[in-house]
Amino acid sequence: MQDINMIRNVAILGHGHCGKSTLAEAMLYTAGKIKRQGKIDEGSSTMDFDEEEIRRHLSINSSFNNYTWKKHEIFLVDTPGDDNFLNETYQAVQIADSAIFVVDAVIGVKGQTIKFANFIAEKNLPCLLFISKMDRERANFAKTIDEIKLLLPIKPVVLQLPIGSEANFKGFVDIISATAWLFDNGNDAKKIEIPEDLADQVAEYREKLMETVAEFDDELIEKFLENGELTDAEIMAGLRAGTMAGGIAPVCVGSALLNKGIAALLDSINSVLPSPDLRPSLLGSHPLTGEMEERKPLADEHFSALVFKTMADPYAGRLTIFRVYSGTLSGDSFYNASKKVNERFGQLYLLEGKEQRAIDMVGPGMIVAVAKLKETTTGDTICDAGHPIVYPVPQSFEPVISFAVHARQGEEEKLFSALTRILDEDLTLRLTRDQQTAEVLLAGMGQVHLEVVGARMKRKFGVEMELTLPKIAYKETIRGTARVQGKHKKQSGGRGQFGDCTIEIMPLAQGEGFVFEDRIVGGVIPQQYRPAVEKGIQEAMEKGVLAGYPVVDLKVLLVDGSYHTVDSSEMAFKVAGSLAFKKAAQEAGLVLLEPYTKMTIRVDKEHVGDIMGDLNSRRGKVMGMDADATHEIIIAQVPMAEVQSYATDLTAMTAGLGIFTMAFSHYEVAPAHISEKIIAASGQ
């Protein structure tokens, strides 16, 4: 076990394709953890090892590894940058002590960059900024820093100033020590004189750095105002204080692909980012009394950890992954305070890409896995049985898109068994059944997300899943009243069939359903046949009259009829009731109802006009506007048929900046031109 102040727990964040996994690869290689620096495009990356990740050239899951650098033990989480897998990144932020926030020097700040920066700001997570791809064509350090200052809730302070850029990127100046370093062989660097053309910039950045870090210490600000100068040690102390408070983010530069500047980044992680014991204590509740409990992130505290991820491993079975917050764990059991059960385990593992390394004891800051647990699932708190605590379950994002799920004939049971296991791994998935359309719906964070789920099930469980757009659950209702006779009379030799009823129908308010009243006087229809009339009407309502959708919100009065002593039967009156209802509904005037969804859309000010215009084009109604610290909030009601692929459309319209939630709202009469199309498509 390391001293806790020598441990770091770091998540790597950034927008898609900014080079996070390449950076993780370079860090592991530089630290000597791996012998060869793999490449994403070649499918040889240590961190992106899933078959779908290799095929799509993007991170789908958070992956884990660790390395030792100058006696420090660093636990690393490499996160996805695609909106379809946003929840993986969000969960990593919840359990990390700090972050490396990667910004592409070519592309700069994108919509997703802002989204991930907001995660960091929300958690007040200490972070280092790494300006990547400095060797690429059009790499622009100054422009990238300006965009970060302007667009992100993170205050950058330049720690390293690049020497050259694009093909001429050849080193950096350390602002604290005012020393220049030229890349030599691979990641090695040799000390040189500061280039003359950078001398003024270095002096300016050092002045800004001293001024900024002094703000976090009263003694430093006093000394800086008096002398206009701070020692290197004082600058570093102020930098650490400001970074740990979440007030500033030191900026490092490099090229992960060429392994330039990575050793300096590893040094900065050790010197600037916090160890677990410097993070705030965690608050939870006692599982029996409900009273608040506190755990300090120290090795000599009572053991506690939070399970934040479950994944299926083809060899080890189901892996349960947890972050240790306090105390140490060894032996072969722990207490699950969320489920109130003791759980035995076989072996503790450190995850190292797709490999696992067995260990005997774990402590604060470590990310650990155990295999084949029976009771413990994602979100559970595990701890010392004598001192139980339950931590709040980290929130997950709600799914934003749904598809109907179909299996190949004869594989239904196999498909849903596989889906159940996948649901354990991925908390953003929802599996539901639409009662009206009889479709099974799978909801997720985007179409790519659900396609990846399908590919994973085929590979792991040998079952194929087909996705189609869900059927829209339209309904029908009446607008007026009608009185109609329904007679069913059939004679075919022997006993015939005879049923005769007269009904009156009238509309009810939306949501009132179906009401049937028996108003028969004098026994014109015997008592035993009257329920059959109601049953015939209800069956006809379910099948619909206008376009095959259920008819809702109406009242039926059974007012008259006649019967035959020999030929009448329950079946005959059931048919008569059905005939009467169909005729009456036509006479009363049928209309089609379409479902509306309530949408809450969060976007930046720049895109509000585009979103409003788009909602109007989808027949939506804006019901109100609001705002929070980071977004404009649009609340709207929109026909469900118009927003089945809204997740993809919103990402395209806002460059990944927009987020939304959606829930069923109500039914409304569909416009005539829409109804005509739906009726024609139904073939009724």
Would you place residue 2 in the very low, low, confident or very high pLDDT band (cuts 50, 70, 90)?
Answer: low
The answer to whether residues 132 and 249 belong to one domain is: yes
Instruction: Let me know if residue 388 belongs to a domain.
Output: no
Instruction: Let me know if residue 207 belongs to a domain.
Output: yes
The answer to whether residues 267 and 175 belong to one domain is: yes
Phi first, then psi: give them for residue 583, nearest 5 degrees: -70, -40
Instruction: Let me know if residue 564 belongs to a domain.
Output: yes
Instruction: Let me know if residue 110 belongs to a domain.
Output: yes
Residue of 454, 456, 457 lying closest to 466 (CA atoms):
454
Q: Which of 278, 294, 324 is the last residue of a domain?
A: 278
Counting every residue written for the chain, the total comes to 684
Q: How far apart are CA 213 and CA 236, in angstroms?
A: 8
- The CATH number of the domain holding residue 216 is 3.40.50.300
Would you place residue 267 in the very low, low, confident or very high pLDDT band (cuts 50, 70, 90)?
Answer: very high
Contact residues for 672 (Cβ-Cβ < 8 A; gap 6+): none
Which tens digits make up the pLDDT trace of 312-363?
765 667 889 999 999 999 888 999 999 999 999 989 999 988 888 999 999 9
Instruction: Let me know if residue 390 belongs to a domain.
Output: no
CA dihedral of residues 463, 468, 469, 473 (deg, nearest 10): -80
The answer to whether residues 564 and 506 belong to one domain is: yes
- The CATH number of the domain holding residue 584 is 3.30.230.10
Q: Residue 1: is its pLDDT beyond 60?
A: no
Q: Which of 239, 258, 278 is the last residue of a domain?
A: 278
The answer to whether residues 214 and 147 belong to one domain is: yes
Locus of tokens 């993170």: 154
Which tens digits make up the pLDDT trace of 620-645?
999 999 988 778 999 999 999 999 88
The answer to whether residues 245 and 179 belong to one domain is: yes
Could you give the number of structural domains in the chain? 5
Locus of tokens 């677990």: 276
The answer to whether residues 174 and 78 belong to one domain is: yes
Cα within 13 Å of Cα(673), Cβ side: 1
Q: How far apart are CA 672 and CA 670, in angstroms?
A: 6
Q: How far apart are CA 521 and CA 142, in angstroms?
A: 90
Residue of 94, 254, 237, 80 lying closest to 164 (CA atoms):
254
Q: Which of 383, 410, 443 is the last residue of a domain?
A: 383
- The CATH number of the domain holding residue 296 is 2.40.30.10
The answer to whether residues 675 and 536 belong to one domain is: no
Q: At what angle do helices 232-244 and 218-227 cross, to 10 degrees?
A: 140
- The CATH number of the domain holding residue 610 is 3.30.70.240
Q: How far apart are CA 138 and CA 115, in angstroms?
A: 24
The answer to whether residues 655 and 596 belong to one domain is: yes
Which tens digits make up the pLDDT trace of 87-108?
888 999 999 999 999 999 999 9
Structure tokens at 332: 């072969």
Q: Residue 555: is its pLDDT beyond 70?
A: yes
The answer to whether residues 359 and 460 belong to one domain is: no
Instruction: Let me know if residue 395 belongs to a domain.
Output: no
The answer to whether residues 458 and 326 belong to one domain is: no
Instruction: Let me know if residue 488 belongs to a domain.
Output: yes
Q: How far apart are CA 88 and CA 63, in angstroms?
A: 10
Phi first, then psi: give them for residue 124, nearest 5 degrees: 50, 50
Identify the burial level of 630 via C-beta atoms within 10 angstroms of its C-beta, where 0-12 means exposed, 13-18 middle and 19 or more buried.
middle
Q: Which residue has the higher pLDDT, 231 or 185?
A: 231
Q: How far apart are CA 634 and CA 603, in angstroms?
A: 8
- ∠ Cα 365 370 376 (to 5°): 95
The answer to whether residues 435 and 499 belong to one domain is: no
Instruction: Let me know if residue 264 belongs to a domain.
Output: yes
The answer to whether residues 50 and 199 belong to one domain is: yes
Phi first, then psi: give them for residue 613, nearest 5 degrees: -65, -40
- The CATH number of the domain holding residue 434 is 3.30.70.870
Give the mean pLDDT of the chain: 90
Domain that holds residue 322: 282-383
| Torsion 210-212-213-215 (CA) sign | positive
Which tens digits make up the pLDDT trace of 571-602?
999 999 999 999 999 999 999 999 999 999 99
